[in-house]
Amino acid sequence: MRIERIELRLVRLPLVRFFETSFGRVYDRTFLVTKLDGEGASAYGECVADDNPYYSSETTDTAWQIISQFLVPLVLGVSFAHPREVFSAMHRVRGHHMAKAALEMAAWDLYARQQGVPLRHVLGGVRAEVAAGVSIGIQDSLEQLGERVAAELADGYRRIKIKVKPGWDVEAVSLVRERFGPIPLMVDANAAYRLEDAGHLAKLDPFNLMMIEQPLDYDDIADHAALQRQLTTAICLDESIHSVRSGRDALDAKACRIINIKPGRVGGHAESIRLHDLCAARQVPVWHGGMLESGIGRAHNLHLSSLPNFSLPGDVAASRRYYQPDLIEPGIEVQPDGMIPVPDGPGIGVYVMEDRLEKATLRRAEFVL
Ligand code: OSB
Ligand code: MG
């Protein structure tokens, strides 16, 4: 597989509904789209960095700069026997996993398209459909939260995650439990608490949550281990797991019992597979996180979610919850049973609507041999 052309776009799409986490409320999403051409095929990737450094230190601008100046020269014109070689080809650039993943994941799509098979076949997927969960942002009132949960359950979603922060936690969980009973329920704090809040967080224990995601700081492992010792609820790490090694360190330290895998955060599909395998070997379940992706990133996520140890429903929801229209056709839809079929065509298996992509583009660059 030889990468002959790389196109990079800065894209912005309005969200169907605002999304609020412990770091603020957003009404639109800015991200990068990559397109690779090689040997007659074209393929796509999405860079999940945001236009601010609140979830991750990477932003759309840092990713643009790193991709253009340092990563493109390491992959353009290079012949790869397999896309698993792409991440290591970029090894001399430290960090910048979201930037790397935008190229690496597109390379997997390119390879699968050249082979004429769905991406999941080359990733090692074992399922043709995956269980969908939803991430519900912080709302203006508990009443609104109740309405959102009811609507998502009616759409079939198999797990509800609610975002929490100090002042929007125990009452929110309590309301959902009272109103909806023993549904699969979890919370995500996006690093909004400190170890001193352990006593407060223990008030969530009686609610039998599946897990609490990333309660403490974005790069912390040791305090999470101390917190896990004080909670019966399982801790799941998201932000803290930025590589296979940090995943191993977290498991060794018993800082979590579950790991959220986002390929953007760890540098792409190959690193995600390695992390998935490490967790499987240690009987630690994983699930696929979400970053408000457009249909391009969403399709990639579905294929990766078909690997065997993605045993819990992920944040892999229907396109129409996020963007209308999305950049792809057909949109990704959740079935009444809460499952999403993994697209069946070659590569990511969805059509990218180039006219919509062009309309959403703020900036474009092209790199050719
Ligand atoms: O922490 O999982 C997170 C969205 C943006 C950044 C971080 C996170 C999220 C979500 C939304 O929870 C998941 C989704 O629906 O894509
Ligand atoms: Mg999270």
Summarised one tens digit per residue, pLDDT across range 115-145 is: 999 999 999 999 999 999 999 999 999 999 9
Q: What is the pLDDT of residues 233-248, one digit of tens each?
A: 999 999 999 999 999 9
Q: Answer whether 48's CB lies under 8 Å from 96's CB.
A: no
Mean pLDDT, all residues of the chain: 98
Question: So which residues are the catalytic ones?
Answer: 163, 262
358 and 50 Cβ atoms separated by less than 8 Å: no
Per-residue pLDDT, 117:
98
In the predicted model, is pLDDT for residue 221 greater than 90? yes
Please give the class, per CATH, of domain 122-341. alpha beta
The whole-angstrom separation of Cα 313 and Cα 305 is 9
Segment 101-105 mean pLDDT: 98
Nearest-atom number in ligand 1 for the CA of 290 is 16
Is residue 227 scored above 90 in pLDDT? Answer: yes
Q: Give the pLDDT confidence of 8-40 residue by residue, as tens digits.
A: 999 999 999 999 998 899 999 999 999 999 999
Q: Where are the alpha helices (DSSP H) in 202-349?
A: 222-230, 244-252, 263-266, 269-281, 295-305
Cis ω for the linkage preceding 346 (within 30 of 0): no
Contact between 341 and 304 under an 8 Å Cβ cutoff? The reply is: no
- CB within 8 A of 35, min separation 6: which ones? 6, 7, 9, 42, 43, 44, 45, 106
pLDDT band, very low/low/confident/very high, at 315 (cuts 50, 70, 90) = very high
Determine the pLDDT at residue 38. Answer: 96
The ligand 1 atom at the shortest distance from the C-alpha of residue 292 is 16
Domain ranges (residues) in the chain: 5-116+350-368, 122-341
What confidence tens digit (pLDDT) does each residue in 58-83 have? 999 999 999 999 999 999 999 999 99
Atom of ligand 1 nearest to the CA of 188: 1
CB of residue 169 inside a 6 A radius of ligand 1: no
Beta strands across the sheet bearing 361-368: 41-47, 24-38, 5-21, 361-368
Predicted confidence at residue 23, as pLDDT, reads 87
- Contact at 8 Å (CB) between 214 and 188? yes
Q: What confidence score (pLDDT) does residue 90 get?
A: 98
Instruction: Say if residue 329's pLDDT is above 90.
Output: yes
How large is the average pLDDT for residues 208-214?
A: 98
Task: State the pLDDT at residue 43.
Answer: 98
Average pLDDT over residues 246-268: 98
Rounded distance, CA 359 to CA 16, Å? Answer: 17
pLDDT band at 263 (very low <50, low <70, confident <90, very high): very high
Nearest to 230 by CA among 195, 259, 258: 195
Whether the Cβ atoms of residue 31 and residue 314 lie closer than 8 Å to each other: no
Is the pLDDT at 110 greater than 90, yes or no?
yes
Handedness of CA 172, 287, 296, 317 (dihedral sign): negative
pLDDT tens digits, one per residue of 157-187? 999 999 999 999 999 999 999 999 999 999 9
**Cα–Cα distance list, 53 to 1, 23, 50, 238 (Å):** 34, 10, 7, 16
* Phi, psi angle pair for 297, to nearest 5°: -65, -35
160 Cβ inside 6 Å of ligand 1: no
CA 79 – ligand 2 centroid, Å = 36
Q: Which helix (H) or strand (E) holds 102?
A: helix 97-115
Name the fold adopted by 5-116+350-368: Enolase-like; domain 1 (3.30.390)
> Which DSSP helix (H) or strand (E) runs through 119?
helix 119-123
Distance 135 CA to ligand 1 centre (A): 7
- pTM > 0.95: yes
- Torsion 279-283-284-287 (CA) sign: positive
As given in the structure block, the two tokens for residue 143 are 């009443």
